[in-house]
Structure 1
Amino acid sequence: MASTREYDIILLGATGYTGKLTAEYITSSVTEPIKWAIAGRTQSKLNDLASKLKASGGPGGAPATIVITELTVPEVTKLAKTTKILLNTVGPYHKYCTPVVQACAETGTHYLDVTGETPWVKEIITKFEDTAKKNRAVIIPEIGIESAPSDLVAFSAVKLIREIWDCGVMDMVASVHELKSSGASGGTLATGLGLFDHYGTQQLKEISNPFCLSPLAQRDHRHTKFPAPTTYRKTLGERISGVWQYPLLGHLTTSITAGPNQAIVHRSSGRYPYYYGFNFNYAEYMAVDSPVVGMLISWLLTLLTIALAIPPIRAIVKGFMKYKPGEGPSVESTKDNRVEIRAVAVAEQLSKTPRKAFVNFVFEGGVYELTARLLVIGAITLLKDQDKVVKTHGFGFLTPSSLGQEYIDRLDKAGVKLKARQLGDFGSK
């Protein structure tokens, strides 16, 4: 990537709901000297946003504005050539953003987004992985609420177990312990419904496999392609009811966000099986107060998935959406929101006293505010620590955890707290 590019960061889709929050966070909180710009389709909206950002007087300063009329490869290529890193908050990604990724891969421009659209991520990896590596581009999809927290939680657990017991992880169970939210934005809802319109049943079935993004099977055929949990088993009743209990995490049931998160975590582990462990397995659930509540949630989510596969029902649901694309909960309504993830990882090194790691991820605020911080701090980390990231992980399609402990440390200073602690006996190192 050329070091003489005009901008350090360009934010594409800056006038959308998540885009505005991202731009506001850059202006209010980024203290590192950067040159940045906001890009979108409407000059008047960009000018209005830039004026508000300038008036706020934050340390990140006011951005330049760039109009991009169409999200085509030629148009985005012109944009990508002017920046070191392109942040993309334009959704639905499967509908608009394949040309954006292609342009970045072909121009050697680093790219980060906040999608949770696993079938689209699988698609762009297949199409542009070799191109990105060839042109020295780092591509990191899903570095928002989906799926950076889960990926960093898993990374932190594995890192601790490696440091203490010098071994990998067999099983890891995570739970969304608390998700107090003011609701989903119009863009998020439109994206979720749009996946059923865009992808066929077979494609959606394929991405239900939590290992669908893992490169392990393609690289090393000596080991199990899809390892099953080895340290716990669900009873027939638990599988039918959709609710079960796990030590330290309580009653668990189906999580609506588990799919994208599990896929990204297993891509991380599949890239480094000697570090994570060849039998590494990550499963994510939602914590509930009682088995009855868990069973109802699990069954309702199953029925909802089946119902949304029917086009007329999707059309009805779209008509009742609270927010349109580009809209979402007000900042005031999210002030008491909270996100907490808890996880337990079991070390491969078996002993009489169980050897485990307990990880806790907490953010006091709205999920879209969290997404903005994850995206911006990820970009700053890549900008400042590019040589280390590339030396360790190379180019191509990486995951949020590839930004390493430096990313976690920067997030901590921004109010995103992630702590891992040892359970069980003393370390062997």
Structure 2
Amino acid sequence: MSFRNHDRQYDLVVFGATGYTGALTAEHITAHLPSNLKWAVAGRSETKLQNVIAECKKLNPNRLQPEIEICNLNGAELNALAKKTFILITVVGPYSQYGEHAFRACAENGTHYFDATGEVPWVAKMLAKYEDAAKASGAMMFPQMGLESAVPDLITWSLVEIIREKLSAKTGDVTLSIHKMSATPSGGTLATVFNLFDQFSLGEIGSAFRPYALSPVPNPRKVPSRDTLVTKLLGVRTIPELGTLTTSVAGTTDTSVVQRSWGLHASLPSRQQKSYGPNFSFVEFYRARSWFHGILVHFSLALLGIVMVTPLRGIARKFVSQPGEGPDKETASKEEMEQRGIAIPDVEPRPDQIAASRAWYKGSMYYLTGILLSEAALTVLEDDVDLPGGVFTASCLGQRYIDRLDGAGFKMETKLIPS
């Protein structure tokens, strides 16, 4: 398939290609994206970038190899880089510390943008400051396109789609379970968690995580809580189709993105026919081995929250991996992920069928983030995604994106099951 026409030097640039996730993203591009792709790897160290290119050449010596762009984190250099490329993938984090210049440069120069942040308060800040610029320039901006939060967003979209297509209904309650997650966090991920509480006040963090705070349109409906007093206290509940569930460490982050998707599909002219519905709700949990395990996870996360908002954060920071570090390839190759979701059609009485989805991947979770970023960029590069300028989510790329992910090893199946 041919690429969309543009007048830029590059189709795609990976900024931060010498970092842990950046190198894996470059690896996937080398191995799987079209060999005629005009692309570059960008960062501060020419020597390290040369090393990335050398590794890419070993993987696929017959393809067009990337150019090198030396670029620091300042606004002028990122502005110049954004003008050179049709798409920029940035994997330089923590984004709340280093990401604004790249976001602004792309929004103002009509450069399509992808990142792997999970920092919701930073995304809220970028929306407030630069979404109008992106709309004016035509830049399509896709933050949070890594494992957190593209996967739950795509699962939710697929559940809504099958209910719309097969049952001719809107969607009510969606419940997602992080069913399996065996992965070692990189130093960059851990640094991001600590940095978030350095960069934002508790008030700013709380505001960003309010229900539908990132949605482009308000949701006047107050979503009723599904928790009983026991589940609120202990964090554990049982859902027949998903098993014993407890608090998810990524739950609030993923919910913010899914709720933004709800608002985008309700308000974008090209997506309104596929809107989720006025009574839609979403919650995410983590699959527990038992009630005891679930209670332990719930209170461990509560304790982690206390550490993060007290001086204990500074002590804990000394005991984690540093940015740039991550699991070795052999360890990472044994990682695996599975997420499941169910969705209830918004009809009365409750129908005899509900939607169920399962998504899974075996291999490095950081390589999966590289897949999610690269295949999303390829979708924008090859397809008419029918989006204006603005800030979007993974679900806005629809089925073509999911099909590309399937070809790259990320699998998802969605079907109707008896209620």
- Same fold judged by TM-score > 0.5? yes
Inter-CA distance 352–396: structure 2 relative to 1 (3 Å threshold): closer
1:11 aligns with 2:14: yes
What secondary structure sits across from 2:147 in the alignment?
Answer: coil
Tell me the CA shift for residue 60 of structure 1.
Answer: 4.7
Partner of 2:269: none
Tell me the amino acid that sits aligned with residue 185 of structure 1.
Answer: S
Q: Distance in 2 between matches of 1:89 and 1:377?
A: 15
Q: Distance in 2 between matches of 1:194 and 1:120?
A: 11
Q: Distance in 1 between matches of 2:63 and 2:193?
A: 33
Write the mapping of 1:126-137 to structure 2, written as runs, cut at 5 A: 126-137=128-139
Deviates more, 1:243-252 or 1:270-279: 270-279
1:213 aligns with 2:214: yes
Partner of 2:151: 149
Partner of 1:310: 310
Partner of 2:97: 95
Tell me the CA shift for residue 107 of structure 1.
Answer: 0.5
Q: Distance in 1 between matches of 2:22 and 2:8?
A: 22
Q: Distance in 2 between matches of 1:407 and 1:361?
A: 14
Q: Distance in 2 between matches of 1:112 and 1:349?
A: 37
Inter-CA distance 289–32: structure 2 relative to 1 (3 Å threshold): same
Tell me the CA shift for residue 310 of structure 1.
Answer: 1.1
Partner of 1:284: 284
Task: Give CA-to-partner distance per residue, 1:325-365, whole Å, 9 cap, x none.
Answer: 01100111022211000000000123354331000010011
Q: Distance in 1 between matches of 2:288 and 2:56?
A: 41
Tell me the amino acid that sits aligned with residue 13 of structure 1.
Answer: G
Tell me the CA shift for residue 52 of structure 1.
Answer: 2.2
Partner of 2:407: 413
Tell me the amino acid that sits aligned with residue 389 of structure 2.
Answer: F
Partner of 1:24: 27
Partner of 1:220: none
Q: Distance in 1 between matches of 2:137 and 2:108?
A: 6
Partner of 2:119: 117
Partner of 2:193: 192
CA contact (8 A) 2:89 2:115 kept: yes
Tell me the amino acid that sits aligned with residue 243 of structure 2.
Answer: G
Tell me the CA shift for residue 210 of structure 1.
Answer: 4.1
Give 1:108's match in structure 2, choosing from 104, 107, 110.
110
What secondary structure sits across from 2:352 in the alignment?
Answer: coil
Q: Distance in 1 between matches of 2:127 and 2:251?
A: 20
Tell me the CA shift for residue 417 of structure 1.
Answer: 0.5
Partner of 1:367: 365
Tell me the CA shift for residue 177 of structure 1.
Answer: 0.4
Partner of 1:49: 52
Partner of 1:338: 336
CA contact (8 A) 1:27 1:59 kept: no
Tell me the CA shift for residue 92 of structure 1.
Answer: 0.4
Give 2:161's match in structure 1, choosing from 159, 162, 173.
159
Deviates more, 1:127-136 or 1:300-309: 300-309
Partner of 1:81: 83
Q: Distance in 1 between matches of 2:401 and 2:169?
A: 23
Write the mapping of 1:384-395 to structure 2, written as runs, cut at 5 A: 384-385=382-383, 387=384, 389=385, 391=386, 393-395=387-389
Q: Distance in 2 between matches of 1:237 and 1:80?
A: 51
What secondary structure sits across from 1:8 in the alignment?
Answer: strand
Q: Distance in 1 between matches of 2:353 and 2:179?
A: 22
TM-score (norm. length: structure 2): 0.94
1:65 aligns with 2:68: yes
Q: Distance in 1 between matches of 2:62 and 2:374?
A: 14
Give 1:249's match in structure 2, choosing from 236, 242, 250.
242
Inter-CA distance 59–238: structure 2 relative to 1 (3 Å threshold): farther
List runs of 5+ in structure 2 lacking aligned partners: 267-271
Inter-CA distance 254–48: structure 2 relative to 1 (3 Å threshold): same
Tell me the CA shift for residue 189 of structure 1.
Answer: 0.3
Partner of 1:228: 224
Task: Give CA-to-partner distance per residue, 1:128-187, whole Å, 9 cap, x none.
Answer: 111000000000001100111001000000000000111211100000000011x10000
CA contact (8 A) 1:30 1:59 kept: no
Identity score, percent: 39
Inter-CA distance 59–174: structure 2 relative to 1 (3 Å threshold): farther
CA contact (8 A) 1:358 1:423 kept: yes
Give 1:168's match in structure 2, choosing from 158, 167, 170.
170
Tell me the CA shift for residue 55 of structure 1.
Answer: 2.9
Task: Give CA-to-partner distance per residue, 1:286-323, whole Å, 9 cap, x none.
Answer: 00011111111101101110112113x112111111x2
Give 1:263's match in structure 2, choosing from 250, 256, 266.
256
Deviates more, 1:342-351 or 1:59-68: 59-68
Deviates more, 1:51-60 or 1:283-292: 51-60
Tell me the CA shift for residue 115 of structure 1.
Answer: 0.4
Q: Distance in 1 between matches of 2:355 and 2:131?
A: 33
CA contact (8 A) 1:211 1:226 kept: no
What secondary structure sits across from 2:148 in the alignment?
Answer: coil
What secondary structure sits across from 1:81 in the alignment?
Answer: helix
Q: Distance in 1 between matches of 2:107 and 2:222?
A: 29
What secondary structure sits across from 1:343 in the alignment?
Answer: strand
Q: Distance in 2 between matches of 1:65 and 1:122?
A: 32
Pairs aligned (count): 409
TM-score (norm. length: structure 1): 0.92
Tell me the CA shift for residue 207 of structure 1.
Answer: 2.7
Q: Distance in 1 between matches of 2:349 and 2:34?
A: 47
CA contact (8 A) 2:152 2:254 kept: yes
CA contact (8 A) 2:35 2:64 kept: no
Q: What RMSD, in angstroms, separates the aligned Cα atoms of the two structures?
A: 1.6
Tell me the amino acid that sits aligned with residue 4 of structure 1.
Answer: D
Inter-CA distance 284–60: structure 2 relative to 1 (3 Å threshold): farther
Partner of 2:296: 296
Q: Distance in 2 between matches of 1:364 and 1:109?
A: 32
Tell me the CA shift for residue 216 of structure 1.
Answer: 2.2
Tell me the CA shift for residue 272 of structure 1.
Answer: 2.1
Tell me the amino acid that sits aligned with residue 5 of structure 1.
Answer: R
Tell me the CA shift for residue 226 of structure 1.
Answer: 4.2
What secondary structure sits across from 2:174 in the alignment?
Answer: strand
What secondary structure sits across from 2:157 in the alignment?
Answer: helix
Tell me the amino acid that sits aligned with residue 307 of structure 2.
Answer: A
